[in-house]
Amino acid sequence: MIIILFLFLIGISNLAGAQTLTITEQQLNSELERQLGREFPLTLGDWLAAGIRLEDLRVELGRQEADKARVTGRGIISVSQGERRFTWDLNGDFSARPRYDSEQGALYLDEFELLSYRLNDDGGLPQAGFMLPMLLQGVAGYLSQYPVYVLDARDPLQQQLRGQILGLEIDPGRLRLHGLD
């Protein structure tokens, strides 16, 4: 009986020391807005070079799938294939899994899956149908290298949690990082 009471008291003391940081979709989207307007280069060997300028990017948390984020956006893709040049305006829709990196103190999106895309104009449709899925997967790989949220070293709770995150939980519209005090 004494052992059970002891374990119970340890459990309560651990729960009392637990810290949680909630990050909302709005916070993630504000961070993503800083990436807008920049041109991201992509290459596929010697035969294809492309640049993608993100015009709009949005994240929804836990609304389509409980443990995933949905990423939607609009971009302008400029492609050079030898002497041929194409420019496409398109919307893309991805599913991704949030991941916390304790070394960087940052939240990333990984495991991107292209759900759909739509050209906003008909220019170069045959070439677009062939190249766009590859290019959009390249965009997903590129986006997974950059954090969607970095813990703020000036915030006491975020500074304290930075290297001590034990778990990540997603609810519709928000993400919670759990750590110990």
Domain ranges of the chain: 35-180
Sheet holding 174-180, edge to edge: 18-24, 174-180, 165-171
34-43, 96-105, 161-170: which has the highest mean pLDDT? 96-105
DSSP letter, residue 181: -
Q: Cα separation of 113 and 111, whole Å?
A: 6
In this prediction, residue 99 carries a pLDDT of 94
Average pLDDT, the chain: 82
- Collapsed DSSP state (helix, strand, coil) of residue 118: strand
Cβ count near 168 (within 10 Å): 16
pLDDT higher than 90, residue 2: no
pLDDT for res 101:
93
**Contact of 62 with 171, CB cutoff 8 Å:** yes
State mean pLDDT over 104-116: 92
Predicted TM-score (pTM) of this structure: 0.79
Distance of alpha carbon 46 from the chain centroid = 29
What percentage of the chain reaches a pLDDT higher than 90? Answer: 33
What pLDDT sits at residue 16? 42
Does position 107 have pLDDT exceeding 60, yes or no? yes
pLDDT in tens, 11-43: 443 444 569 999 999 999 998 888 777 888 877
- Contact in structure between 95 and 63 (CB atoms under 8 Å): no
What does residue 109 show for φ and ψ, rounded to 5 degrees? -110, 125
Give the separation between CA 48 and CA 166, rounded to whole angstroms.
42
Topology of 35-180 in CATH?
Answer: Bactericidal permeability-increasing protein; domain 1 (3.15.10)
Furthest-apart CA pair in the chain: how many Å?
81
| The predicted structure's pLDDT at residue 126 | 66
Mind listing the pLDDT tens digit for each residue in 51-85? Answer: 888 889 899 999 988 899 999 999 888 888 888 88
